[in-house]
Every structure is written in structure tokens, then in C-alpha cells.
Amino acid sequence: MMTDPSPVSAPQAPSAPDLLAVSGLRVEIPTRHARLVAVDDVSFTIRAGEVLGVVGESGAGKTIMGAAIMGLLEPPGRIAAGSIHFDDRRIDTLPYEAMRRIRGRDISMVFQDPLTSLNPLYTVGRQLTETIRTHTDLSESAARDRAVGLLQEVGIPAADRRIDHYPHQFSGGMRQRVVIALALCVNPRLVIADEPTTALDVSIQAQIIAVLKRLCRDHGAAVMLITHDMGVIAETADRVAVMYAGRIAEIGPVRDVIKRPRHPYTVGLMGSIPAIGHDTDQLTQIDGSMPRLTEIPTGCAFHPRCPYIRDRCRRDRPELLPVGASQAACWRHVPGFDEGPAHA
């Protein structure tokens, strides 16, 4: 459920070196009849201590991009081009075991459905302590103490007792808190959160957002927050990347993207969200739907749905262009665009 994105309260990201640098990332899924491109020439960075929101419709490529960074692409999906650097070290070409040591210790992931992350046969305490001991030299008792502390930190009441409960004994919101504790148990430097609030009630969503923001601040971890909810982005992120059909359509500081969207798709997204205190008879509607991977149009992928289309939009694919504090992949920001012939 979308929330009102008007009150942008996220602080500006501190000046810090890039922790994650993705450059020209292309993810392909070979099939019997074609080679589908799920992520196409995507580049961005995340600084230490920063929250980067990644927003877009289902099928935009958000989750596949997160899986590629984690080294968790499902075969036959593969990284076909580009590079991923973490702390100045290239990680997309690492052997499996080397990447496994980074995954969990330095980079952790919070999935949309906590039941995919938690083993129903083991208590949450066993899963936490085993993860802690895998990546640290702590004893069994010290690992358990740390696990109890983490459960308390993410808001699990009576953590010293509930640590011995099984996942099914927790509510959905409490299971998601356990998953966040699991992701943070060895102090990772980057947390990739994939739709962490989608399956939760609005009131629980707000609590989980507050937990993520506090843990990011207290632990100094960077967060890549994947969601379709611009309201969640507004409340949490420092910067936001808007994805469409496997590419970044717009990226910039969250306040600028929300208040002054530069790409027609982002404009449509913002216009489709009701704002508290603003009376309107009808919300903006983006005609059509996102193209399937087998039907990505030439030129700008958004051109069949765009009200500003010109011939060049159909013919040439735009790269990200600087527009104020943001960047947008749209030919409208090239001088002389409006004088060009309109597409019939």
C-alpha cells in the first residue's frame, strides 16, 4: 500500500567514499528462442552509511539486480557485461567460496518473505547463533548473548525467552524483525532489503522502516532498499533510483526526485499517489503497461506510454543526462527536443 510521500524526512547522506559501485551491469536470461535482458547497462554507487532506494513496477529488474550483486542469480540467469565493485574490490568475478565469505559477513540481504530466509525446523536462536559463529570467533554462549541483544535491538519483546521459539510462533512483522536481526548479526557493511515491508500491514510497515533507519544509523551500514512503494522510499532513503524495463530512468536525491521529477515515468508515478491535504478529483494515470522482456521497444523503452514522445524517442535510446541535482534518461532534457517532429 502506498503512503503519502510528501513529508520527506530522510537526512542527506554524509560525504563518504563509495562502498558499492555498479558499472554497466547487464543481466541476461537465455531461453530456447531468445536471450532476454533483465537488467540493461545499469550504473550507480552507494556510499557508506547511505540508503539508496530502488523503486519501480514489478518486472522492472529491481530484484534481479539485487540478486546479481549478492551473487545469487538463479540459472540460467547470468551477468553478461559490466562490473560490481565492493569496497574497491571486484566481486562479480569471484569464485563461489570467496563470494560466500563476503555474502553474510560484509553484504547481507533481507527478503520480502521472511519464511524464505528462516528454516522452519530450527529455532530462531539456533539460526542466529550458527550465523554468528560461522563468521566470528565467538563462543556458543557469547553468540547466544549477541543473538538476544540483536532481537532486543529490532524490537522483539522478551527476547531472552523468544530466542528459543520457532519461526511459525512469530507473526509476520515479528518474523521480518528476526530476518533483519539475522542480516545484521555480523555487522555487515551493506544490507540489500528486497521489498521488506510489502506483505505487512501499514502500521507494521512503519515500524520496520523505523528499525531499518535506526540500525543503519547505529551500525553505519549502507542500505539498498528495493521496493515499489514511493512512500517507503520517501521515509527512508537519501537517494532514489527509478527503474523501468531493466534500466534506470532517473536517479537523484530523494527530495529532488519526489518534488521535481525529471522523467515522464517518474512524473506519472508521483501523480498516481494520493497526497494528504490535497483535494483532487482524479489521480494521474500512466496509460499502458511495462513491456515484457520479449517485447522491449527500440529507442526509449517508455516511449509507447509517454505523452511527450518525438521521433527520436522511438529511434534512439537515451542515456542518463544531468538535470539539476538528478539524472534522467530522457531526450526532453536535450536542447531543441520540443522543436523536433512529434511522433504520429
Q: Quick one: 178 and 288 in the same domain?
A: no
Range of the domain at 94: 9-106+189-200+218-296
**Residue 313, in any domain of the structure:** no
What is the model's pLDDT at position 283?
A: 64
What is the model's pLDDT at position 266?
A: 94
Q: What pairing do the DSSP bridges indicate for beta strands 190-194 and 107-110?
A: parallel
Q: Quick one: 65 and 196 in the same domain?
A: yes
What is the model's pLDDT at position 11?
A: 45
The count of domains in the chain is 2
**Residue 142, in any domain of the structure:** yes
Q: Quick one: 23 and 71 in the same domain?
A: yes
**Residue 65, in any domain of the structure:** yes
pLDDT in tens, the chain (344 residues): 444 444 444 444 445 789 999 999 999 999 988 899 999 999 999 998 899 999 998 889 999 999 999 999 999 999 999 999 999 999 999 999 999 889 878 999 988 888 778 999 999 999 999 999 988 899 999 999 999 999 998 889 999 999 999 999 999 889 988 998 998 888 899 999 998 887 777 777 888 888 778 777 787 789 999 998 888 888 889 999 999 999 999 999 999 999 999 999 999 888 766 666 656 666 677 888 999 999 999 999 999 999 999 999 999 999 999 999 999 999 999 987 765 555 54
Q: Quick one: 82 and 193 in the same domain?
A: yes
**Residue 303, in any domain of the structure:** no
**Residue 329, in any domain of the structure:** no
Q: Is 238 strand, coil or helix? A: coil
Torsion angle defined by CA atoms of residues 51, 56, 57 and 60, in that order, rounded to the nearest 10 degrees: -110
Q: Quick one: 242 and 255 in the same domain?
A: yes
What is the model's pLDDT at position 249?
A: 97
**Residue 227, in any domain of the structure:** yes
What is the model's pLDDT at position 69?
A: 96
**Residue 169, in any domain of the structure:** yes
Q: Quick one: 156 and 146 in the same domain?
A: yes
Q: Quick one: 289 and 195 in the same domain?
A: yes
Element (H, E) at 183: helix 172-184
Q: Quick one: 268 and 280 in the same domain?
A: yes
Torsion angle defined by CA atoms of residues 46, 48, 50 and 54, in that order, rounded to the nearest 10 degrees: 30
What is the model's pLDDT at position 216?
A: 74
What is the model's pLDDT at position 132?
A: 93
Q: Quick one: 239 and 159 in the same domain?
A: no
Whole-number Å distance between alpha carbons of 128 and 118 = 10
45 backbone dihedrals φ, ψ, rounded to 5°:
-130, 160
Q: Quick one: 96 and 239 in the same domain?
A: yes
Whole-number Å distance between alpha carbons of 220 and 63 = 24
**Alpha carbon 1 to chain centroid, angstroms:** 17
**Residue 324, in any domain of the structure:** no
Q: Quick one: 196 and 288 in the same domain?
A: yes
The CATH number of the domain holding residue 95 is 3.40.50.300
Q: Quick one: 193 and 51 in the same domain?
A: yes
What is the model's pLDDT at position 281?
A: 65
